[in-house]
Copies of this chain bind each other. A is one copy, B any other.
């Protein structure tokens, strides 16, 4: 039996995680987000907080890549990347599911029955969500959101060599602020049947 996977990459505060969870609920499959953190923590021995932070931070900055520091050997982030890579690959072999973030789009790139989604939204929609629905008013600044996006983009570029947010790297990109969370869930659910 095929295990159809949906990967959701997202701008910080765009509701990608909510869309992932609601889509999984509609489809009756599991959504891996914090669950994935738990798995990586259990396998690596690092704390979930550390992994959450390291999972969005490229070791060498924007201009380096996973290959540019090979003479120094792997660091913690490389070690975690390797565990994350193996866990995601194994998940996709064993069950149909939604995977939020953690470069699953690139890790599962060669898998035919994987729908790669990117969710984004304008700044005001994201600021509202972060301060309201996420209840994290201290994070609701344009500067903070942009910093988080830069970190995700840099991490993605570092470990996959691909530009985060470039339409050509996904099957489907949706503006959740413009289309609304419910409509994004509906479109993704509908397209799941075709993969």
Contacts and interface: CB of A to CB of B under 8 A. Distances in A.
Contact of A118 (B11, B167, B171, B180): B167
A170 interface: yes
A179 interface: yes
Q: How many copies of this chain does one complex carry?
A: 2
Nearest to A175: B171
- A167, A168, A171 — most chain B CB neighbours (10 Å): A167
A86 B170 CA distance: 33
A165 interface: yes
Interface of A is mostly: mixed
B191 A120 contact: no
Contacts of A174: 171-172
Given A118-B167, A118-B173, A171-B174, 20 more contacts: A11-B168, A120-B167, A120-B168, A165-B167, A166-B166, A166-B167, A167-B167, A167-B170, A168-B175, A170-B173, A170-B175, A171-B175, A171-B178, A171-B179, A172-B173, A172-B175, A179-B194, A180-B194, A183-B194, A187-B187
Interface of A: 11, 118, 120, 165-168, 170-175, 178-180, 183, 187, 191, 194
